[in-house]
Structure 1
Amino acid sequence: MSNTNRQVKLARRPAPGPLTRDVFTIEDGPIPEPGPGQFRVKIEYVSLDPAMRGWVNEGRSYIEPVPVGAVMRGYAAGYVEVSNHPEFKPGDAVQGLFGVQQYAVSDGKRVVKVDTNLAPLQRWVGGLGMPGWTAYFGLLEVGQPKPGETVVVSAAAGAVGSIVAQIAKLKGCRAVGIAGGPEKCRYLLDELGLDAAVDYKAGKLAADLKAACPHGIDVYFENVGGEILDTVLPLMNTFGRIPLCGLISAYNATTPPPGPRNLRCVLTQRLKIQGLIVFDWADRIDEAIHDLGQWYSEGKLKIREDVREGGLDAFPDVLNLLYTGGNHGKLVLKV
């Protein structure tokens, strides 16, 4: 066991654009000792999520920004080492918002015990963890798909999108995924079994998407924004639903991106656009874990992680892969 706790901390607020290494510092601190009602976790995997780009910015959001000088916020999974908590014992595999560090102390709030017999530990910060919960509630509660409808998902090869698309199929829908490049599109068709895949990098987004959705679009699960949203809006059917999960195309913008050009479609087609944050269903997470776990155990849900080596020192560089499309599946950093 190491005698120190390696941590990634926020050094300063970033400028617009890609995050640079000097936004973070990597430090060694003391290993924390749990107090009464607490336990210590040795972290094995850290989840890298698009939301991290917003968490380091100053300004109004759904959650307070990470304070300068604090450990970077992040979901992680590991094993309980020492416990003074009656519900957690040494050896328990757990997942929670432990931060980007080697060791964390917790009082157990919003910490989930995970079953590593069902799935490997890293999968519990991926498709069976927060990204999977987001997909589950975002599609089923906000999108409300009905059998026979067409569901389109942007960033469909990513952590959230890949789960959304598969749930759409499980619910009897036509599932169409938008992704960047032929390799990701082949994955959507050959591995995930989607009905169609559209490569937005091929230069024919509007024509290809229209061909993939001959009866229009009933539900569009939005992860990207920008040109893709503008292309989707005219194809939406009347009373269509748009769960808005992310706008990753603008996260590293150096100037404010333009608003949607086709916003009038929201009026003429009477569309519903609703933002969503997984915390909105915090009291129902067990429901998502149960259903996702059951589908996974039955072989109906396929999950892929892109696990990167290099430890916490690699965090700043690996994180930026999310915003360039350099990852293939849920991006996870092995501590």
Structure 2
Amino acid sequence: MKHRVSLIGVFACAVCLVMTLAGCSQSTAYTPETLNPTVSSPTIGKDNTLRVGIGGGAPFYVSTNSSSAASGLDVDMAAALADQLGLKLEVVSLGTGEVDVQSALAKGDVDIVMSATSSDKGDSVWVSDPYTQTGIALFASPGTAAPSKSDAPKIAAQSSSTSAWAVTNAFGEDALVANSDLLSALSSVETKSATYVAADAVIGSYAALGQNVDVEPVAVLGTVGGYGVAVSASNTDLQKAISDALATISGNGVANVVCSKWLGSAIDLSSLPVIEVSTSKASSAKTSDSDESSSEKTGADTSASEDSSASTDDGVEPKTEAGANAVLPQGTSSAA
């Protein structure tokens, strides 16, 4: 699947909301300035075009409507980067399962890959600063304080997920209210069977917005990570171009507008309490990879395993900054 995407609508919102001096109003249409290309072949594989790999299958990362047009948080963010680089955008689907970033870049069909994490970094892969923070967050109704173990909190999460593992690791097995999927876990807060929901911060925010559940992150389980842009480690020119473009769209408010469209608001976990999640109990708290449910990022492919983010029996901490920790039920529509 390859699509060309425009970000005119997002830039119009950004200019109206963030750059009001540009003169945008309800009665005037805004077309973003067309910039001259800042990179060309061989820095990118196709002149005037940024080929962006997007995968994982979740509708907020990449989805298609009846006209086969790609949409989602990663698509909009990639379009903003392409516009800033003076390039057209070509979206290349990397499938509905876990993305092998190194292989995707090595094949040469894409210039960059979205939703990369620090775990994807290696001798052949460079990853930018995050365009959105993430981590395993505890969601609760606005005004709810972060829990302590002595509170004996009830925390909903998808069964056999990274988030469920983190809950039992930090609070004990009695704290976990296991659910079959993320939407059921969110419903647990509405029905008062749980006070908190544990989920990837990005994915939980998307699901809560789409289901109109009034919750917000109140604490972080473990470390804060983020989703960034992966580039071949040998392509230093493209690395610099992406870094500069990302800094620009982060500074002028466009990145925040994209996040607000898909997540309700930009995610900032830096001020939240951090609850320690140790690695010593991983072997007893986790099931084997083959028993894991599919990730929150799939939603459409419930047969995929959480093998990249779950430990088995070696006591290694799972990939806590990845989104592989809950299933969205089949047929769930994406938030617009």
State the TM-score, normalized to the length of structure 1: 0.34
Q: Which has the higher strand share?
A: 1
State the TM-score, normalized to the length of structure 2: 0.34
- Structure number with the bigger relative contact order (C-alpha 8 A, sep ≥ 6) is 2
